[in-house]
């Protein structure tokens, strides 16, 4: 590696991650002032766990993320199976577009349209509506990850199972799904992370008593940043990076389907 490429790499990574590094460092700041360094301390983490509303918001976020990632994983996997294993059925292109659409649509638009729909059908806004909203846009991400794996899966494995007398259901449960497990778990972790991170859609469709962690943090910051936010954000960064690293490890893992 030349000096040039090395410095380009450091600059690039610095540009991307310096703000997060600053945030993490300042979460261990003993000072009350966010911008003044006053020595090392974990007091803000203690304060964080004593902050009732913040912990409540974290619980809401966790429940929403788990529920919506489970729903998105189920729907996304089914969509991927339909796209990759059921030939050219009527409306296939339309369905593909509809599943992947929410990935590229502006979040504000998704949030607004979901809100209008929930009002229209008279559904009370709360945790359920956030779960539905998150599942909607996470489904596409799961479908992408699982589709990619399915395309790489040797078709003759499923054919061999059918040839050995296994009906479609047995082929799916004993061959296709076990071989897709890493991709399905990766998709689930991705959906979990996306749901945990989301502020925009949750803000549109949440109701009283259903404040997620990002919503809580955002509203606190508007009243002034305190080091407790840094601590909360640091924990969130840790959780999200763990999930993303886990997802990429699962996707990259050799599963031995090559002959």
Partner 1 sequence: MASPAPLLDIRGLTKRFGDYVAVDGIDLALAAGEFFCLLGPSGCGKSTLLRMIAGFEPPSAGTIHLAGSDITALPPHRRPVNMMFQSYALFPHMSVAANIGYGLKGLNRVEAGARTLAMLRLVRLEGFGDRRPDTLSGGQRQRVALARALAREPNLLLLDEPLGALDRGLREETQGELRAIQRRLGTSFVVVTHDPEEAMMLADRIGVMERGRLVQVGPPAELYRRPVSRYVAGLLGDVNLIPGRAGPEAGEGVREVVTAHGRVRASSGASLAEGAEVVVAVRPESLVLGGEGLPATVDDAVFLGDRVRRSLTLPDGTVLRASAAPAGGLGAGGATSVRFDPADAVILPA
The answer to whether residues 79 and 99 touch, using CB atoms and an 8 Å cutoff, is: yes
Question: Could you say whether residue 219 binds partner 1 (CB under 8 A)?
Answer: no
Out of 161, 186, 205, 247, the only residue in the binding site for partner 1 (CB under 8 A) is 161
CA–CA distance, 141 with 193 (Å, rounded to integer): 11
3-state DSSP call for residue 34? coil
Closest CA to 220 of 30, 43, 41, 58: 58
Question: Could you say whether residue 46 binds partner 1 (CB under 8 A)?
Answer: no
Q: What token pair was written down for 11?
A: 């600059």
CA–CA distance, 70 with 195 (Å, rounded to integer): 11
- C-beta of 116 vs 159, nearer to partner 1: 159
The contacts of residue 203 (CB under 8 Å, 6+ apart) are 111, 215
Question: Could you say whether residue 116 binds partner 1 (CB under 8 A)?
Answer: no
In angstroms, what is the minimal distance from the CB of 165 to partner 1?
A: 5
Out of 19, 101, 152, 178, the only residue in the binding site for partner 1 (CB under 8 A) is 178
Question: Could you say whether residue 259 binds partner 1 (CB under 8 A)?
Answer: yes
Question: Could you say whether residue 18 binds partner 1 (CB under 8 A)?
Answer: no
Give the count of residues interacting with partner 1 (CB under 8 A): 22
- C-beta of 106 vs 256, nearer to partner 1: 256
Which among 47-55, 93-101, 186-194, 250-258 is the span making contact with partner 1, rule CB under 8 A? 250-258
**What residue has token string 């593909």?**
96
Please say whether the dihedral angle defined by the alpha carbons of residues 182, 185, 190 and 193, taken in this order, is positive or negative.
negative
CA–CA distance, 8 with 203 (Å, rounded to integer): 38
Question: Could you say whether residue 97 binds partner 1 (CB under 8 A)?
Answer: no
Residues that bind partner 1 (CB under 8 A): 154, 156-157, 159-167, 170-171, 174-175, 178-179, 255-257, 259
């Amino acid at each position: 590696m030349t000096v040039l490429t090395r410095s380009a790499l450091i600059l690039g990574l610095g540009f991307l991650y310096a703000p997060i590094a600053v945030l993490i460092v300042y979460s261990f700041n003993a000072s009350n002032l966010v911008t003044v360094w006053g020595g090392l301390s974990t007091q803000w983490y203690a304060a964080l766990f004593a902050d009732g509303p913040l912990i409540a918001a974290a619980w809401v976020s966790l429940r929403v993320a788990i529920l919506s990632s489970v729903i998105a994983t189920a729907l996304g996997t089914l969509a991927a199976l339909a796209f990759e294993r059921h030939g050219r059925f009527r409306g296939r292109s339309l369905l593909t577009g509809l599943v992947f659409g929410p990935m590229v649509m502006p979040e504000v638009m998704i949030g607004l349209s979901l809100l209008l729909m929930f009002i229209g059908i008279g559904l009370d806004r709360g945790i359920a509506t956030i779960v539905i909203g998150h599942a909607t846009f996470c489904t596409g991400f799961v479908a992408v990850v699982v589709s990619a794996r399915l395309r790489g899966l040797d078709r003759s494995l499923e054919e061999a199972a059918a040839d050995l007398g296994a009906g479609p259901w047995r082929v799916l449960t004993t061959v296709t799904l076990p071989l897709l497990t890493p991709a399905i778990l990766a998709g689930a972790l991705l959906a979990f992370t996306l749901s945990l991170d989301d502020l925009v859609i949750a803000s549109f469709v949440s109701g009283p008593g259903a404040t997620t962690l990002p919503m809580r943090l955002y509203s606190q910051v508007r009243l002034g940043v305190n080091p407790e936010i840094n601590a909360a954000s640091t924990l969130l960064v840790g959780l999200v990076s763990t999930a993303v690293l886990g997802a990429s490890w699962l996707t990259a893992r050799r599963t031995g389907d090559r002959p």
